[in-house]
Amino acid sequence: MRWYHSIITRISVIFALALLGIAAIFLSLSFHDRENHLRSMHDYSHIALRSAFDMPTRMLDHEKLEEMGLVLVKDEKLRLAILAQPRPPKPFPLKRMEERFRLNIESVPYGKRIYTIVQRKDGDALVFQTPYEKEFFPQILFPLAIFAFVIFLYIGILRSILPLKQLRNQVIRFADGHYDIACKSTKKDEIAALANEFDSAVQKIKALRDSRQLFLRNIMHELKTPITKGKLASEMIEDATYTTILKNVFTRQEALLEEFSRIEKLSSDELKLDIQPYLLEDIVDFALDILDDKKERITCNLTPITLHVDFELFGVVIKNLLDNGLNYANDGLVTIQNDTHTITISNRGNPLEFPLERYSEPYFLEGKRQKSSRGLGFGLFITWHVVRLHGMKITYKRHEDINAFVISFE
């Protein structure tokens, strides 16, 4: 999953934008508050200077100004630093005092204070410290509280969402066939409710699986017992012909039971492969041994190659394709051949009635059987899925009156 598809990423972006918006609002409020204070101190300075201005002498009464809170800055270094502050165009309307007495009065912030600069056109600038002092802590406390609340809310939401990652990992493990998972949560939010419902579903599915396995194990045991007894009984028959027939019947029944077991495992995705290198000739010999009574009708044109497969399961694939080929061949013959990339099993017969993919569905031919009731049901179901588990492909081709099943591999 890409990072920009993540819910956590989207929530983080939303909260980041929210914090930027809050910061912009408080910054704007701070500028507005500073302008209000500057305007107030500017107006206050006008009133104080008007009161302290001596009309006959045209001098300022510094003692009276100090009583009103305007203290003359005598520190030359501080005075020069204040005068060096950049001053934008005057934002306040010109007062009558400034017009009448040719005074230029400005209020500027410096540090935590606001200073008033009185500039006469025929003299040096005087700098007065106003009674305003910025209270930094009360102004910063509320924004910090808001930021802390938003960050706390963000962390709380992340902590609520993070269990989704653990739940996802548990779902992946469950999909891989691990039923020993636990994802119960003691929390009260929606994600905890989802995790608890999933845990409950897992427990129910696990119970159903255990019940099914127990049932299948018992029924397989009950079916194998009479087959074993029948094989023992067939050994006591003196007529060799009947003995051979009975042995083949019981061997066939055992093979069917094994096939049913594989079908059950394929349906529940519990079939595991034991991949090893094997010669194709050995795998085909294994398939021919199962088809012992039919192998004289099978023609093998094999080139020596090594396949990395599960020996028994891939042998069953070859057996099923050969068996189906024999059952549906017009002349009762089937051929298996190979090259370095394919294995082909072919016969002469009628074309398939349905696409090959449809035959890979169990019970697909139930009620749709062709004239013969000989199969192309479970055999191709097992074949299709085992070939897929090996990372190979199986395709059906027809040329004139020849049907060919082709297994392709690298």
We report the CATH number of the domain holding residue 347 as 3.30.565.10
Give strand ranges (E) for 238-284.
275-279
We report the CATH number of the domain holding residue 257 as 1.10.287.130
Q: DSSP class of residue 242?
A: H
Task: List, for residues 300-325, the tens digit of each pLDDT value.
Answer: 999 999 999 989 889 989 998 998 88
pLDDT at 20: 92
Taking all residues of the chain, what is their mean pLDDT, rounded to a whole number? 80
338 forms beta bridges with 343
The residue type found at 141 is L
pLDDT at 409: 87
Q: What is the pTM of this model?
A: 0.50
Can you tell me the distance from the alpha carbon of 315 to that of 341, in angstroms, rounded to the nearest whole number?
17
pLDDT at 378: 63
Do 300 and 235 belong to one domain?
Answer: no
CB of 35 closer than 8 Å to CB of 91: yes
pLDDT at 369: 47
pLDDT at 375: 43
pLDDT at 94: 47
pLDDT at 37: 82
Residue with tokens 């100090």: 66
- Weakly modelled stretches of the chain, pLDDT under 50: 94, 96, 367, 369-376
Helix extents (H) in 117-189: 136-161, 163-175
Q: Of 224, 255, 271, which marks where a domain is finished?
A: 271
Can you tell me the distance from the alpha carbon of 132 to that of 283, in angstroms, rounded to the nearest whole number?
97
pLDDT at 88: 58
Q: Of 137, 167, 198, which marks where a domain is finished?
A: 137
What is the DSSP annotation of 307-334? EEEEHHHHHHHHHHHHHHHHHH-SSS-E
Residue at 326 is within a domain: yes
Can you tell me the distance from the alpha carbon of 330 to that of 98, in angstroms, rounded to the nearest whole number?
120
Domain containing 403 equals 272-408
